[in-house]
Amino acid sequence: MANHPSAEKRNRQRIVRTERNRAAKSALRGAVKKARSAAAGGDAAKAKSSVASAEKALAKAASKGVIHPRTAARTTSRIAKALAKAAKA
């Protein structure tokens, strides 16, 4: 329990940031999931656009500190690899 005004403020900030990060992570997971399913599917144009939007969302989340930059890079690499594999097949 916060006993000082500064600690109370930090607690309020923590709550706001947690909610913002939770919403951002949820949207990010949705974008990545959509990109993976599109890459596995047949439509190449749709897959390419969804992978691009997922890459953008990953980069934005990494720059804002929602996820670690290496996590974003690894996920971006994996969905790009899946898109290339689907395009080749």
Q: What is the pLDDT of residues 27-78, one digit of tens each?
A: 999 999 999 999 988 788 889 999 999 999 999 999 999 999 999 999 999 9
Supply the pTM of this predicted model: 0.84
CB 47, CB 39: distance < 8 Å: yes
For domain 5-88, give its CATH number from 1.20.58.110, 3.40.50.1980, 2.60.120.260, 3.90.550.10. 1.20.58.110
Q: What is d(CA 74, CA 72) in angstroms, rounded to the nearest whole number?
A: 5
Q: Which of 69, 48, 49 is nearest to 60 (CA)?
A: 69
Q: What is d(CA 89, CA 86) in angstroms, rounded to the nearest whole number?
A: 5
Question: Is 80 exceeded by the pLDDT of residue 89?
Answer: no
